[in-house]
Amino acid sequence: MTRDPSARFMEDLAAMLTSMGFPRMPSRVFAALLCADRDDLTARELAETLQVSPAAISGAVGFLTRIRLIHRRRQPRERVDRFSLGTDLWLGPVTMEIEGYAAMVDVLDKARAEGAVTGVAADRVDETRDFFRFMVEALPRLYGEWQATRTGSA
């Protein structure tokens, strides 16, 4: 029996994400939402698509929501949450990365200012700080370039 190409793609994508360190069930939920024919799915629909328990979906959507990769919302007068990737799929995760990198710069600056590291350790801290500072400055520019290519204004 030949597997459905869409199901095979979802599993291949999830396996690739997992091999990169992304948790398995969030990888599968992300792949299912990416491949869905609709803009959003309920937890029940995700569980049916992936043939897993609702509890597995609950943990996965919690993780994906925390990293701003998916959005949770309810329709008026509905009692069920709907999950979607949103219209600007990568804005949330990129913004979260920028915020994380900026926090890293602050921690490293504080360590240097307080003399917490010296010698070669200080050199490594400086290089790490400089890298993350570069990323804080570069990511917004890169994201803007990405947006421009999407709108055709590049």
Which pTM was predicted? 0.86
pLDDT tens-digit map of 76-116 = 898 999 999 988 999 999 999 999 999 999 999 999 999 99
Domain ranges of the chain: 5-84, 91-151
Between 24-35 and 5-19, two packed helices, what is the crossing angle to 10 degrees?
A: 140
Q: What top-level class would CATH report for the domain 5-84? A: mainly alpha
- Which of the residues in the chain have pLDDT under 50? 1
Q: What pLDDT, on the 0 to 100 scale, is given for residue 146?
A: 93
Q: Hey, is 85 helix, strand or coil? A: coil
Q: Which residue has the tokens 């091999």?
A: 19
Report which of 49, 19, 18, 24 is spatially closest to residue 35, judged by C-alpha positions.
49
